Structure 1
């Protein structure tokens, strides 16, 4: 159905027909959401409280199962490395499969003709990650800690963009923001909005899952000592859920850098992306240049992922150190 919706718009120029097909995909998303709520909505997952408690130990796996798991993991790792190696090798040849002479011309092409795509992608990804992280914390906290009539609706709407295929989301944004009074097509705003509201769902779920493990009595203790709601939120709640926030930022940034399905409808001459440049190179049979663009994108994503992982590790070490000093 996402493919048919895409062809309906790009092949037949029928925006209404594509939108109708896209709307039908909301039905299974609704079913899965309410089924998940029915299964886990009323259970308690508190593991962090003001009281000390005994820790349960994991049951060790049998030796043969460990060996089997290691073998499966090794095969998967080798396969993934092989795929990356193909892209890396392809980025250093003149004509992939025809003239395999080693050259750096493809990378010169990337940094000469792809500077705008590189800067635009980084700018949009950083802005989307920061705004998405802020929204994830606020919405996740409201859903988990507050009670109000539209709570379920807010929870579902935060997941809806993520549940639908990217093609459908792109069509929806074009249909909604292609006319006045809200004309956003061709601007950075529509790209940032598409990224945030499509991928911030993971950050929201991380925050909710983290808050489910934290006993509300910790926040109540802060309030009982005279701290206001804002101070309790910033000095008690936020420090406890920083790993969840960083996890959401990690996911959001990676997907902002690598997304293509939703944003292929939203890019313009003013704002272009690395993923669309890769697609353009592939359609023009410029496979070495596409590989070079891909390697640059992979390096940026891996560097950002390593930086966020380092921040999580440093925070964990600092948190453990402060806990030991208090004990």
Structure 2
């Protein structure tokens, strides 16, 4: 059974029929937009009214049975959520698996095998994701400021433009960039630039949303007080606004970078031999039926992303949950 993304992949990599891939992408876009319109229509029909402004604190269940149930439920849910990552790390150490339930031999052979390739793909992934994240931070922050602090016609169009590539499947973005920059006045096929721009378009919504949420919590009178004291707009932005929304900017940047390091749906259409990423290296190992080697690359990716997230959290002295408050 084939789905639309699979058909687009075969049209590009199997036949290099960009016209057919574009037609399938258009059908996918139409289905997505229809679903969004239906969802918007349903939400508009619902009206919620606060009956009273008085709230009462719900009593806590202090019984031993309630505590045991809560702990089992929470830790069990966390275990199920982390089970795929645990399995990836476990399989990465399997060197021999002769049709038994568990591997019969463990070691570091998979990591030794992938190391020559791993250095290049990690460098490529970090560079591409870092460049795209930097662009998203600058652009997303400025657009968020304009959207939150100013009133103008067509604000909905600006919001839709930023959010649409995030809502649509990434495979459509990949096909769109491939068709646009494969010929004509600007040819970027096979370069790092096409991946960086595609990553930027795909994940700028993270920064846009987090910065918008942070700006909405900053009282405009703080900025007005800086202006009254004689500060220019640029000075107010550097010394007042940006420091106040910095946790939101950093939170959006962390999420965007962590997601882009292992981006697959866009990369599979736009990468070249010189710019292979972590996700492509994993995909190639899986196609070659080298599951343990693919798991080893995935394990390194997990450690890399967690290290970057924890490092950024320590840098600002806040955990990820606090950054979104």
TM-score interval, normalised by the smaller of the two chains: 0.7 to 0.9
Of 284, 287, 293, the residue aligned with 1:289 is 293
The 1:30/1:305 distance shift into structure 2, 3 A limit, reads farther
Segment drifting more, 200-209 vs 61-70 = 61-70
* 1:5 is the counterpart of 2:8: yes
**Matched-pair contact (CA < 8 Å) for 2:125–2:262:** no
Question: How far is 1:157 from its partner?
Answer: 0.7
- State whether residues 96 and 106 of structure 2, in contact with CA within 8 Å, keep that contact through their aligned partners in structure 1: no
Let me know the Cα RMSD of the aligned residues: 2.7
Q: Does 1:202 align with 2:184?
A: no
Contact 2:97 2:105 in 1 (8 A): no
- The structure-2 alpha-carbon separation of the partners of 1:12 and 1:231, relative to structure 1 and needing over 3 Å to count, comes to same
User: Who is 2:111 aligned against?
Assistant: 107
Alignment partner for residue 18 of structure 2, among 2, 15, 20? 15
Q: Are 2:128 and 1:124 equivalent residues in the alignment?
A: yes
How big is the shift at 1:204? 0.2
1:300 CA displacement:
0.3
Q: 1:61/1:132 Cα in 2 relative to 1: closer, same or farther (>3 Å)? A: farther
Cα displacement string for residues 38-57 of structure 1 (whole angstroms, at most 9, x for unaligned residues)? 97xxxxxxxxxxxxxxxx99
**Is residue 191 from structure 1 mapped to residue 195 from structure 2 by the alignment?**
yes
Counterpart Cα distance in 2 of 1:273 and 1:60: 50
Q: Deviations over 1:109-130 (max 9, x none)?
A: 1212322112111111222222
Query: In the aligned structure 2, how far is the partner of 1:87 from the partner of 1:150?
Result: 47
1:216-251 superposed Cα distances (whole Å, 9 cap, x missing partner): 122112112111111111111111111110110111
Say if 2:22 and 2:176, in contact at 8 Å, map to a contact too.
Answer: yes
Alignment match, 1:74: 75
CA offsets per residue over residues 160-213 of structure 1, 9 Å max, x none? 110110111111110111113111111111111111110110110111111112
Of 168-177 and 63-72, more deviation after overlay is shown by 63-72
**Equivalent in 224, 231, 235 of residue 235 of structure 2:** 231
Q: How far apart are the structure 2 equivalents of 1:138 and 1:90?
A: 44
Q: Deviations over 1:84-112 (max 9, x none)?
A: 23212211122345563122111111212
> Could you tell me the TM-score, scaled by structure 1's length?
0.82
Is the 1:29–1:163 contact (alpha carbons within 8 Å) kept by the matching residues of 2?
Answer: no
Q: Superposition pairs for residues 41-80 of structure 1, below 5 Å? A: 59-60=57-58, 62-63=60-61, 70-80=71-81
Please give the alpha-carbon distance, in whole angstroms, between the structure 2 residues aligned to 1:283 and 1:116.
20
Give 1:217's aligned residue. 221
| Structure 1: gaps spanning 5 or more residues | 40-55, 317-327
The aligned counterpart of 2:247 is: 243
Distance 2:141 2:68 in 1: 40
Work out whether residues 96 and 288 of structure 1, in 8 Å CA contact, stay in contact via their aligned partners in 2. Answer: no
For the pair 1:149 / 2:149, whether they are aligned, the reply is: no
Structure 1: how far apart are the matches of 2:8 and 2:56? Answer: 47
Hey, what's the Cα distance between the residues in 2 that align with 1:61 and 1:198?
44
Give the distance between the partners of 2:139 and 2:154, measured in 1 at CA.
Answer: 17
Distance 1:231 1:25, change over 3 A: farther
In the alignment, the residues of structure 1 paired with residue 168 and residue 155 of structure 2 have an alpha-carbon distance, to the nearest angstrom, of 21
Distance 2:119 2:208 in 1: 33
Q: Distance in 2 between matches of 1:167 and 1:249?
A: 22
Distance 1:255 1:180 in 2: 31
Give the match for residue 309 of structure 1: 313
State how many pairs are aligned: 299
108-117 or 234-243: bigger deviation:
108-117
Contact 2:190–2:271, Cα closer than 8 Å, also in 1: yes
Query: More displaced, 70-79 or 218-227?
Result: 70-79
User: After TM superposition, which residue ranges in structure 1, 4 or more long, deviate above 4 angstroms?
Assistant: 64-70
